[in-house]
Amino acid sequence: MRKDTLIYIGKRLILCFLTIIVVITATFFLMNAIPGGPFLSEKGTSQTILDNLNHKYGLDQPLFMQYINYLKSALIFDYGPSIKQKGKEVIDIILTAFKTSLPIGVIAGIMAIVFGTFFGSLAAVKHNKVIDRVIMVFSTASVAFPSFVIASVLLYVFCSKLGWFPANGITTEGDYSGYILPVITLSMYPTAYITRLTRSSTLDVLNSDYIRTAKAKGVSKPVILFKHALRNSLTPVITYAGPMFASIITGSLVVEQIFSIPGLGRVFIRAITGRDYPLIMGTTIFLTVLVIGMILICDILYKVVNPRVELE
């Protein structure tokens, strides 16, 4: 690995670390600025019990001391115990839910990149022809429809009417039929978006001078498309793929609720409704680390896909 690449990675790692600290700080103070407290929903709780609970979770300390203690713990992924789920650590709850969201998100992300790149390239090659217009109509419709509409339609048709798939998500271990509809739902929007990105970037590349030169030299169309055009048009796709993967592998709030999947998105919703502050902050930081990590990987992939890109 070249020296300039290592320097670039080192600078980005420092920037990533500072970004995580900013997110931790903002999350902590915003959560503490919310009126009320995590124990106010408890019925029949005396002030003595509330004081003991606040002391147990360190909520009776000065706010700055709470922040310093939380920052030290959060940097080593120790988010403390859950307030609502007694006897469980926040990191254990997150990792358990993440094991469910991860395979669904990874499969959906891979499908989105593969099909989106394929259909986008096909639409660019068949520009202004029937197949191009058909692909654009379907991709536009997929972008326009919200995920909860797609999920509801799939649930109604394939679960309620046809009975092909379970309606209550992943029911038994080893039965992967419950993954199919959530994967399709999660992959619809990114597939359509990547299709449009690939089409526009491939059209720009196909109209460039070096492609015309390759055509003049008699280079075959498959070589022009896959070796020259597609490789140079993948940069915007890679830009989008990083945040996309981080977003869908941590679970979709709506999709997991509709399909009753015990993933990270569903856990996050329950943490918000239950005012489980440590779980809310832990999930937010966990997602931030994933997003930053995926963006860093994608920035490095720029150099692999297109060696002419200079890392600064």
Residue-wise pLDDT tens digits, 190-249: 888 888 888 888 777 777 766 677 667 666 666 666 666 666 677 777 778 777 877 777
- Separation between Cα atoms, residue 55 and residue 304, nearest integer Å: 52
Element (H or E) spanning 22, and its range?
Answer: helix 3-33
Model pLDDT, residue 37 = 57
Q: Domain coordinates of the chain in residue numbers?
A: 1-312
Q: Which two tokens stand for residue 145?
A: 């429809």
Residue 255: exposure state from Cβ atoms within 10 A (0-12, 13-18, ≥19)? buried
CA nearest 297: which of 134, 171, 109, 48? 109
Write out the two tokens for 215: 């055509």
| Statement: 1-312 belongs to CATH 1.10.3720.10 | yes
Q: Which residues of the chain have pLDDT under 70?
A: 1-2, 4-5, 35-61, 167-176, 209-211, 214-215, 217-232, 250-251, 302-312
Neighbours of 300 (CB within 10 A): 16
From 280, 265, 268, 289, select the one nearest 34 (Cα to Cα).
280
Q: What is the per-residue pLDDT for 35?
A: 65
CA dist 185 and 265 (Å) reads 15
pLDDT at 278: 82
User: String of b and e for 219-251 (b: at least 16 CB within 10 Å)?
Assistant: eeeeebbeebbbebbbbebbbbbbebbbbbbbb
pLDDT of residue 41: 54
Distance CA 232, CA 225 (A): 10
Tokens, residue 72: 């030290």
The two tokens of residue 135 are: 């692909």
Q: What is the pLDDT of residue 10?
A: 81
